[in-house]
Structure 1
Amino acid sequence: MSQGIGVVGLYVRDQDEALEFYVEKLGFRVHTDAQNGSFRWLTVQHPEQPSLQLGLFKPQAPVLDEATAQTMSEVVAKGAMPPLVLNVDDCRAAYERMRARGVEFTQAPEERYGNVDANFRDPSGNGWKMIESRRTQ
């Protein structure tokens, strides 16, 4: 029986660069940073969602063969992966805070469909959509 999702994996080109981005610019916390030969298990978590970790993994063996790892690296760099979604209370305020920390946005906050959203990418090219929901539940 399933207990829920614990880690969502994300391919990155450089784990140290990704770690700095997610911790220093987005405010995530390091959960696990362990080395096993050339494979590094690196996870971070949002401070308000401690049960879910975001794995910052390089596309490499033992998970992938060399050709697949190269292909995945290229796909990530082109921003071709589906965006991740970050829910926020105030999209415009979060946008200003994150821009001040050096996050580069591909779309400034816009109102549409009853929400305010903005888009940014991490240093590896992974897309994020930041959404402030204004819909009543």
Structure 2
Amino acid sequence: MSPSAKFFYVQVQQLNDADAFYANCLGMPTEATILHGQEKGILVKADDRTSIFLSEHKHQNQTNKIVLQSDDCLEDYCRLKSRGVVFKKTPSYLTEGLSAAFSDPYGNEFIILEQRNYNED
């Protein structure tokens, strides 16, 4: 994947509950913010290159599927599982690398991907 920054709009039903899930269960830094001078939301720093704007409103470019890059998928899986995250897919090997999948309480899907080159000598 490209090392460029990624920004996602994600719809949630309740900002306070979403803030607690993303900060406490996922361990991602969150910050209350206002978009376009009026819309309240929460900015989540998923990793060094990925930010997520949580909003109770629907956005034209919103998504409900986010791929998070990982240096160690198994470690992330165990850490998140110990915090109460329920996984839809346990770590498994794909052609792209090792991945695991979970959803937030609002049905937004996340894939943790540790990219691997299986053809290395």
> Residues 58 and 47 from structure 1, CA distance in 2 versus in 1: closer, same or farther, beyond 3 angstroms?
same
Task: Percent identity, please.
Answer: 25
The one-letter amino acid of 1:57's match is S
- 8 Å CA contact retained: 1:31, 1:53: no
Q: TM-score, normalised by structure 1?
A: 0.68
The one-letter amino acid of 2:25's match is K
The one-letter amino acid of 2:56's match is K
The one-letter amino acid of 1:48's match is D
* Offset, 1:46: 2.9
Q: Secondary structure, in 3 states, of the residue corresponding to 2:67? A: strand
Extract unaligned runs of 5+ from structure 2.
Answer: none
* 1:1-137 to 2 correspondences below 5 Å: 7-34=7-34, 39-46=39-46, 48-49=48-49, 52-59=50-57, 82-135=64-117
Where is the strand percentage greater, Structure 1 or Structure 2?
2
Extract unaligned runs of 5+ from structure 1.
Answer: 65-80
The alignment yields a C-alpha RMSD, in angstroms, of: 2.8
Runs of 4 or more off by more than 6 Å in structure 1? none
Q: Secondary structure, in 3 states, of the residue corresponding to 1:54? A: strand
Q: Secondary structure, in 3 states, of the residue corresponding to 1:59? A: coil
Where is the helix percentage greater, Structure 1 or Structure 2?
1
> Residues 110 and 6 from structure 1, CA distance in 2 versus in 1: closer, same or farther, beyond 3 angstroms?
closer
Q: TM-score, normalised by structure 2?
A: 0.76
* Counterpart Cα distance in 1 of 2:105 and 2:112: 16
* Counterpart Cα distance in 2 of 1:34 and 1:82: 21
